[in-house]
Amino acid sequence: MPENENNFNELGSILIEKDAIASIARQSTLQSYGVVGLAPKNLLENIRQILVKDAKYGVDVEFDHEGLLIDLYIMVEYGTRIKSITNSIVNSVKYNVEKTVGLPVRRINVHVRGLRISNMD
């Protein structure tokens, strides 16, 4: 898979890095109600995040001929409706990525990796 997506027009080409798309998806996810943070995709990513801060932490972006495939790994607030949170995330990420980048988002998968209890009262 390429590390970026090329768009061509009459004036030249536009090169969009996966990291840029991941950053947009990350910010949209973190601003969604009920999300307390992103989670690592796997153990290796968790170790890498400790050593070096990674902009793609908790977000995986792939390209295919039909559009973007985005996987999000999240932690949610205990007591919130997970289905409502994930639907909100999908809509927000899809809108923001398509509006900003101009590429169609084909699929967004939201992986809920855990629940966090913020207030014990």
Considering the chain, what is the average pLDDT of its residues? 85
Question: What does the pLDDT look like over 66-108, one tens digit per residue?
Answer: 999 999 999 999 989 999 999 999 999 999 999 999 999 999 9
Q: Stretch 49-76: mean pLDDT, rounded? A: 85
Q: What is the pTM of this model?
A: 0.81
We find that the CATH architecture of domain 12-116 is: 2-Layer Sandwich (3.30)
Q: Stretch 32-47: mean pLDDT, rounded? A: 80
Neighbours of 45 (CB within 10 A): 17
Q: What angle do CA 18, 40, 82 make, to 5 degrees?
A: 100
**Quick one: pLDDT band at residue 1, thresholds 50, 70, 90?**
very low
CA distance 64 to 101: 15
